[in-house]
Chains A and B, each alone.
Chain A
């Protein structure tokens, strides 16, 4: 049985950095057949002892024939439901359970259109990183469950989206940073029928200074992480399209960010003989989640880019070729 012990990392009262506290439960569900991509977040921003602090719940689905559906709920942190392994706001909540390792998602008519009662059970071992990594003026840490099997019900306008060919990914980020600081990151989850690929690297806001890349591949119970110097990532082109930007009040304030420069194609390479991997991601649609810091007064822009990918290479002595749906995150 795969197990996963994780919990919300609320800062203690004496924490001198608690104003910069962030805690973020993240779940992606992607469908390899119809190409829809779900983005679900339940997050806390700021000290629990500060009335300005926020709790956010996001349930967004990109569907090729419907576009972006769903919304973001912004509420006071004090009014959120916070349990040791659960963050909930009025219309959505997310929890992790330890044995068997699983993520539970509940969404109640977000935007009056998206509802979900899903249990995502881990089919690959979680990756517990836990270490605080330098991030702007603060630090960030994360745990990852790279491949889960979703079961339950996910619906748009009352119509169920089939989950039999869907795959899921979960991570939990926490730390101390202020939105709007000189921070950014690039991250991607690429979910195929038999393989999951996870890519991540932190950066400064301009993405001119990049942290060490993370590239891991998960297949048939085997996880393979490529050494940092043997990973490369390139962007090509500029995605042109209409963004869904949330929350709307922040979008109205930041008109200058309505047409950001986002990659149209991302190529990720990993090679450590005999294993090698070439993955190409093509952007199809994008949403912009605007994170306003309740204490720091800055803003960061979290771009969720939905798309497709194909990968080929060799892993564990086997040739692999796979296509699927994916989400790439570009934060500045």
Chain B
């Protein structure tokens, strides 16, 4: 299956089994367009008139998110936290703050239905079978919060705002 087919099947499963969640997904996404990438595949997607659409790749987008199959599998296996994936650069999310927020909320709506929509579990198994790791499973590096050093100016600002205690 292509990335577009995975996205379509996932959203259709939600529409069939959890119409209220599907309604929330449409409400959160609005008319926004997102470019989604997995490995070397890219699609542009969004909702139009309540239907999932895949406009041409050169369509202007409101946000962009990309990752690779190893990250997806590490997340599914609980080897990697989402915050770690973002901080390690294994998930990229770009766009204006509100657009990225809505993009992530849409993912939460989907995840929240995983426990209740059997078809999503079948998709997960299919993903494992069709997109095996290209490298061995390595444990993610231990991540300190944050992975980059804070400078004196930032400490001074946090202290001034009483945010260090």
Contact = CB atoms under 8 A, between A and B. Distances in A.
A52 B78 contact: no
A76 to B, nearest CB: 5
Interface residues of B, number: 25
Contacts of B117: 52
B115 interface: yes
A62 to B, nearest CB: 14
B81 to A, nearest CB: 6
A297 interface: yes
B75 A252 contact: yes
B114 interface: yes
Given A51-B118, A52-B118, A293-B115, A255 B78 contact: no
A320 interface: no
A257 to B, nearest CB: 11
B115 A294 contact: yes
Nearest to A54: B115
Counting chain B CB atoms within 10 Å of each CB, the highest count among A51, A112, A251, A258 belongs to A251
Counting chain A CB atoms within 10 Å of each CB, the highest count among B75, B76, B78 belongs to B78
A292 interface: yes
A242 B142 contact: yes
A72 B80 CA distance: 15
A54 B82 CA distance: 25
A183 B104 CA distance: 29
A258 B81 contact: yes
Contacts of B81: 245, 251-252, 255, 258
B77 A111 contact: yes
Interface in A238-260: 242, 244-253, 255, 258
A54 B120 CA distance: 13
Nearest to A51: B118
Interface of A: 51-52, 54, 67, 71-72, 74-76, 111-112, 242, 244-253, 255, 258, 292-294, 297
Interface in B95-120: 107-108, 111-112, 114-118
B116 A52 contact: yes
B124 A252 contact: no
Interface string B60-100: 00000000000000111111111100000000000000000
A244 B84 CA distance: 13
A273 to B, nearest CB: 47
B78 A253 contact: no
Contacts of A251: 75, 78, 81-82
B56 interface: no
A89 to B, nearest CB: 11
A248 B79 contact: yes
B75 to A, nearest CB: 5
B150 to A, nearest CB: 20
Nearest to A66: B139
B6 to A, nearest CB: 14
B139 A248 contact: no
A75 B121 CA distance: 7
Nearest to A53: B118
Closest 5 CB pairs of A and B: A292-B115, A253-B111, A248-B78, A246-B78, A248-B76
Contacts of B76: 247-249
A242 B79 CA distance: 10
Contacts of A71: 77-78
A248 B80 CA distance: 8
20 contacts: A51-B118, A52-B117, A54-B115, A76-B121, A244-B78, A245-B78, A246-B77, A246-B78, A247-B76, A249-B76, A249-B114, A250-B111, A252-B82, A252-B107, A252-B111, A253-B108, A255-B82, A258-B81, A292-B116, A294-B115
Contacts of A249: 75-76, 111, 114, 124
Nearest to A299: B115
A76 B116 CA distance: 10
B137 to A, nearest CB: 8
